[in-house]
Amino acid sequence: MELLEVNHLCKTYGSGETAVHALKDVSFSVPKGEYVAVVGESGSGKSTLLNLIGGLDTPTSGKVLIDGKDVFAMKDRELTIFRRRNIGFIFQAFNLIPELTVEQNILFPVLLDYQKPDRAYLEELLTVLNLKDRRKHLPSQLSGGQQQRVALARTLAQNPEIILADEPVAALDPVTAKQVMSDFRKINQDMNISILINIHHVELALEYADRIIGIRAGKIVYDGPSARVDQAVLDAIYGE
């Protein structure tokens, strides 16, 4: 059984003349531990896909299975708990709480879920993400890259099976963006966590991800190893 299965997913926004077919029969699966980048032009359907996989929106048709569980068959409350315990979301905006320290931000969702914080795991996260000497700092005292690492640590603190990241490096300068992509690689390898990341910069995707899913106008036009992406593939994703 694959960790993630996406089966014939379709999403249409609106209806009639103004209908937008954002996803058109998208299917793929992701085994545990893979680092997948979804690339495509703005408006190609990347965010729609990620939101559906995370159960933040409902499809027009099709299924998403995570660990064999049908995401859209769950009732609201069950889905909320499933999402909290299995899926880690990372967005372009870090959404850190300005009044809380790094450490408090990381533990916040764990405490919200009435779970006991695992101190040893917190220390591991601070070490892996190089935040040990920033634990008492406020978000405003951190660089953009450090803030994104705190967001990543906060997500990891909940022990997700998979991390879904929507354009996490879009707001960062090129050097920091590279660093964040490399942080994702590190936690993917060190902790065997699957990652699905939407990213606009194809060069960064090719450098760090195992696999590329190229999406164009709501359809998958490439799905394969990063190493096999050539000019013809790039033309299929981005060309005229």
CA distance 173 to 145: 9
State how far Cα 102 lies from the chain centre. 21
The one of ligand ADP, Mg ion, none whose footprint includes residue 48, by CB under 5 to 8 A per kind, is ligand ADP
Q: What is the phi/psi pair of residue 48, to 5°?
A: -55, -45
Which residues is 69 bridged to in the sheet?
66
Q: Which residue in the block uniquely carries the two structure tokens 């910069």? A: 201
The one of Mg ion, ligand ADP, none whose footprint includes residue 44, by CB under 5 to 8 A per kind, is ligand ADP
Instruction: Report which residue type is found at 198.
Output: N
Q: How far is the CB of 45 from Mg ion (least distance, A)?
A: 8
Q: How far is the CB of 47 from Mg ion (least distance, A)?
A: 3
CA distance 44 to 23: 8
Q: How far is the CB of 26 from ligand ADP (least distance, A)?
A: 11
Q: In this chain, which stretch among 20-28, 45-53, 107-115, 126-134 interacts with Mg ion, using CB under 5 A?
A: 45-53
The one of Mg ion, ligand ADP, none whose footprint includes residue 45, by CB under 5 to 8 A per kind, is ligand ADP
Nearer to Mg ion, 48 or 146 (CB): 48
Count CB-CB contacts under 10 A for residue 73.
11
- Residues comprising the chain, all counted: 240
Give contact residues for ligand ADP (rule: CB under 6 A): 13-14, 20, 22, 40, 42-48
Nearer to Mg ion, 167 or 183 (CB): 167
Contact 210, 225 (CB under 8 A): yes
CA distance 223 to 44: 15
Nearer to ligand ADP, 5 or 57 (CB): 57
Q: How far is the CB of 57 from ligand ADP (least distance, A)?
A: 8
- 47 contributes a contact to Mg ion by CB under 5 A: yes
The one of ligand ADP, Mg ion, none whose footprint includes residue 214, by CB under 5 to 8 A per kind, is none
- Closest by CA to 71, choosing from 54, 85, 84, is 54
Binding site for Mg ion (CB under 5 A): 46-47
